[in-house]
Amino acid sequence: MSTPTVVLVPGAGGVAAFWHLVQAGLTSRGLESIAVDLPGDDPEAGLPAYVDLITDAAAGLDEVVMVAQSLGGFSASWAADRLPTSALVLLNAMIPLPGETAGEWWGATGSQEALRALALREGREPDPFDADTYFLHDVPPDALAPVGERAENDAVFVTPWGLTAWPPVPTRVLAGRDDRFFPYDFQQRVALERLGLDVEPVPGGHLAALSNPDAVVEAIGSNI
């Protein structure tokens, strides 16, 4: 029996190098992986283009384990329906409903209210929003250095998710215990409401693939 290839889909910005530490960990376990680079800064590239790029990157593979970070939940889940996907792993990821856009998701799920509530519980001022507080608070600088920065264009937020139902693929939801952007209890609620699933906790914040890559690799590889 062949071993599946892990296809890693990044979040906002679409930078494939986000997965550099996870890829190294997967390689050390003898697992092959592909990190898909998505043109987050291209104003003409919307969600369907992202799905095409993911599908093209995995073309010809016999079996795929699809892993999605954050915004990547919209594109990876759609692409999973077009590929020989044996498992779909969501890491602090957005879970869409049929016909929903990524722009609508924030209000529909109450994500910003959850973010603010957690900040207040932890004694932090929720405003102004800044990357250091919500994304980088637990990420070592050397882990972040190869990733760089890339803005996310608006086009990906206005195209509805293209499936009529969640793909018929075994799905796991990994949620960072210390995620300040998508708080853990928020992810628990959304996963239960939208997929009927419990979350699996992993250490770290929203960018757990950079702050706690070994735990993420262990979680991904546990069923391969």
Three-state SS string over the chain comes to: CCCCEEEEECCCCCCHHHHHHHHHHHHHCCCCEEECCCCCCCCCCCHHHHHHHHHHHCCCCCCEEEEEECCHHHHHHHHHCCCCEEEEEEECCCCCCCCCCHHHHHHHHCHHHHHHHHHHHCCCCCCCCCHHHHCCCCCCHHHHCCCCCCCCCCHHHCCCCCCCCCCCCCEEEEEECCCCCCCHHHHHHHHHHHHCCCEEEECCCCCHHHHCHHHHHHHHHCCC
**Residue 98 exposed, middle or buried by CB count within 10 Å (0-12, 13-18, 19+):** exposed
Q: How far is CA 39 from CA 25, 44, 74, 150, in A?
A: 25, 9, 15, 9
Q: What is the DSSP letter of 88?
A: E
pLDDT the model gives residue 62:
96
Which residue range forms the structural domain that includes residue 101? 5-221
Best CA proximity match to 114, nearest among 195, 182, 203, 177: 182
Q: How far is CA 7 from CA 19, 39, 83, 122, 192, in A?
A: 10, 17, 11, 35, 25
Q: Give the CATH number of the domain where residue 83 resides.
A: 3.40.50.1820
What the block records as the tokens of 214 is 């070994």
pLDDT the model gives residue 223:
80
What the block records as the tokens of 212 is 């706690």
Taking only the tens of pLDDT, the chain with its 224 residues reads: 679 999 999 999 999 999 999 999 999 999 999 999 999 999 999 999 999 999 999 999 999 999 999 999 999 999 999 999 999 999 999 999 999 999 999 999 999 999 999 999 999 988 888 999 999 999 999 999 999 889 899 999 999 999 999 999 999 999 999 999 999 999 999 999 999 999 999 999 999 999 999 999 999 999 88
- Residue length of the chain: 224
Give dist(CA 82, CA 101) in Å, integer.
19
What the block records as the tokens of 161 is 């998710």
pLDDT the model gives residue 224:
87
pLDDT the model gives residue 212:
98
Best CA proximity match to 66, nearest among 208, 182, 170: 170
pLDDT the model gives residue 147:
95
Number of domains in the chain: 1
pLDDT the model gives residue 178:
98
pLDDT the model gives residue 1:
60
Q: Is the model's pTM score more than 0.85?
A: yes
